[in-house]
C-alpha cells in the first residue's frame, strides 16, 4: 500500500481489502492478461480514486461490501484508461515499471484494457444502482472522448487553453468526480451533497492534471516514475506550452515545426516555456482550481472525513514543482 495512506489507517485498511477484492476479480483464462492485471494491482499505485470513493461514502449510510466493490471499480476504470493511454503514447514506463504495452505488445495491451472495462461493468451490475451504472457509462464516454480530443490535438500549434481544459475535464477530472460522486450517491447521500462531491472532484482533478503537466517541465523521469517529456515528443502540447504558444514566439514555432524533436529541441522548448512565463501561468490556474476545491470542501458537513479529504487534497495539489 502506498505511503500516502499511512496517516489514515481506517481508509488504508479498507483499501487493503479493496486490493484483495481486485485480485480476486482479476481471474482470466488467459494467464498473460491475468498476470498483467495483477502486476498493475500490486504496483504500489496511490489508489486515490478508490480512496475518495470510500471517504465520500462515509458521509452517508456506509455499507462496507458495496463501497469496497465500487472503490475497486474506480481503480479498475483508472487502470484501463492508463493501459490504453500508454498504447497511444507508446509509453515505456508507468509507476516506475515497464508498461503493459512495452512488456506484452500493443495488441495484448488493447485487449487487457478492454478486459478491465469488462470487469468494471460486471462488478457494477452486481452492486450499483441502475442510475449509478448509467452515470458511470456516461462518464466513461466522456473520458473516451477526452482521449480522442487529445489525439486529435497532436502537433496543433493553435490549440487554446479552452481546448486544453475541455480535454482535461474529460480525460482526468471526470474520474475524480465520478469517484467521489458514486461513493456518496450509493451511500444514500442526498442529491445536493452528491452533486457537491462531483464538483469537488472536478476541481481536484483539473488542478491535479495541470500540476502533473507542470511537473513534466520541471522534473525528470526518475522523479515522475514515467517518461519525462513523453507528451511533448508525441506532439501533445499541455498547458505551460500552450500559454507560451499564445504569444507566437518565432523561435519556439521554428522548433515545433520539426517532424521529430531531438533532445536539444526538448531542452530548448523547456527553456523557452520557463522564460516566457508558461510555467508561472499554469501554476496560477492550478491554484485557482485548488482554491475552488478547498472552498467546496468547506461546504461539506463537519466530520473527521471532511478534514481528511481536505488534507488529502492538499497532499495531491500542493506537490513540489
Structural domains in the chain, sorted by start: 3-208+294-317 (1.10.600.10)
Q: Are 50 and 179 in contact (CB under 8 A)?
A: yes
pLDDT above 60 for 58: yes
Reported confidence tier of residue 227, pLDDT bands at 50, 70, 90? low
pLDDT above 70 for 226: no
Reported confidence tier of residue 225, pLDDT bands at 50, 70, 90? low
Of 72-76, 92-96, 154-158, 284-288, give the lowest mean pLDDT range: 92-96
Of 43-47, 75-79, 146-150, 304-308, give the lowest mean pLDDT range: 146-150
Burial of 92 per CB tally in 10 Å (0-12, 13-18, 19+):
middle
pLDDT above 80 for 134: no
Phi/psi at 7 (nearest 5 deg)?
-80, -5
Q: How far from 82 is each of 61, 91, 123, 249, CA to CA, in Å?
A: 32, 10, 19, 34
Question: Can you give 96-132 as a three-state secondary structure string?
Answer: CEECHHHHHCHHHHHHHHHHHHHHHHHHHHHHCCHHH
What does pLDDT average to over the chain?
89
Instruction: Check residues 93 and 207 and name the one with the higher pLDDT.
Output: 207
- Rounded average pLDDT over 237-246: 95
Reference 93, options 218, 200, 229, 194; nearest CA is 229
Q: Are 225 and 93 in contact (CB under 8 A)?
A: yes
Q: Give the total residue count for the chain.
A: 321
pLDDT above 80 for 135: no
Q: Which residues pair with 93 in a beta bridge?
A: 98
Could you say which DSSP state residue 143 is in? H
pLDDT given at position 320: 57
Q: Are 50 and 75 in contact (CB under 8 A)?
A: yes
57 half-sphere exposure, CB direction, 13 A CA radius? 24
Reported confidence tier of residue 228, pLDDT bands at 50, 70, 90? low
Q: How far from 87 is each of 74, 147, 173, 209, 216, CA to CA, in Å?
A: 20, 12, 21, 19, 19
Reported confidence tier of residue 312, pLDDT bands at 50, 70, 90? very high
Q: What is the pLDDT of residues 79-129, one digit of tens each?
A: 998 888 888 777 787 767 788 888 888 888 899 999 999 999 889 888 867
pLDDT given at position 260: 85
Reference 66, options 157, 152, 182, 156; nearest CA is 182
pLDDT given at position 72: 96
Neighbours of 123 (CB within 10 A): 18
| pTM attached to this predicted model | 0.90
Burial of 98 per CB tally in 10 Å (0-12, 13-18, 19+):
middle
Q: In the structure, how many helices (H) and strands (E) does the chain have?
A: 17, 2
pLDDT given at position 68: 96
Q: Are 123 and 25 in contact (CB under 8 A)?
A: yes
pLDDT above 60 for 321: no
pLDDT given at position 150: 79
Amino acid at each position: 500500500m502506498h505511503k500516502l495512506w499511512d496517516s489514515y489507517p481506517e481508509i488504508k485498511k479498507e483499501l487493503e481489502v479493496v486490493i484483495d477484492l481486485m485480485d480476486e476479480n482479476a481471474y482470466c483464462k488467459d494467464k498473460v492478461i491475468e498476470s498483467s492485471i495483477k502486476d498493475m494491482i500490486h504496483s504500489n499505485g496511490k489508489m486515490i480514486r478508490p480512496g475518495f470513493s470510500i471517504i465520500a461514502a462515509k458521509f452517508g449510510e456506509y455499507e462496507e461490501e458495496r463501497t469496497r466493490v465500487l472503490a475497486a471499480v474506480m481503480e479498475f476504470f483508472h487502470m484501463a484508461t492508463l493501459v490504453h493511454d500508454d498504447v497511444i503514447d507508446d509509453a515505456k514506463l508507468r509507476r516506475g515499471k515497464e508498461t503493459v504495452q512495452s512488456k506484452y505488445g500493443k495488441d495484448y495491451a488493447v485487449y487487457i484494457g478492454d478486459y478491465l472495462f469488462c470487469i468494471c461493468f460486471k462488478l457494477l451490475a452486481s452492486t450499483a444502482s441502475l442510475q449509478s451504472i448509467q452515470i458511470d457509462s456516461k462518464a466513461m464516454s466522456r473520458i473516451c472522448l477526452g482521449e480522442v480530443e487529445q489525439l486529435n490535438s497532436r502537433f496543433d500549434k493553435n490549440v487554446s487553453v479552452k481546448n486544453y481544459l475541455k480535454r482535461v475535464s474529460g480525460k482526468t477530472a471526470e474520474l475524480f468526480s465520478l469517484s467521489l460522486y458514486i461513493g456518496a450517491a450509493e451511500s444514500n447521500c442526498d442529491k445536493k451533497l452528491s452533486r457537491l462531491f462531483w464538483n469537488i472532484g472536478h476541481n481536484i482533478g483539473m488542478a491535479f492534471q495541470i500540476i502533473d503537466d507542470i511537473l513534466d517541465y520541471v522534473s525528470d523521469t526518475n522523479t515522475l516514475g514515467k517518461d519525462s517529456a513523453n507528451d511533448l515528443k508525441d506532439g501533445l502540447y499541455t498547458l505551460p506550452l500552450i500559454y507560451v504558444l499564445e504569444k507566437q514566439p518565432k523561435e519556439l514555432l521554428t522548433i515545433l515545426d520539426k517532424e521529430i524533436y531531438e533532445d536539444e529541441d526538448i531542452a530548448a522548448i523547456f527553456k523557452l516555456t520557463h522564460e516566457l512565463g508558461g510555467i508561472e501561468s499554469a501554476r496560477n490556474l492550478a491554484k485557482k482550481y485548488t482554491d475552488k476545491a478547498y472552498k467546496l470542501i468547506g461546504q461539506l458537513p463537519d466530520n473527521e472525513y471532511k478534514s481528511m479529504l481536505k488534507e488529502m487534497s492538499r497532499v495531491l495539489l500542493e506537490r513540489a514543482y
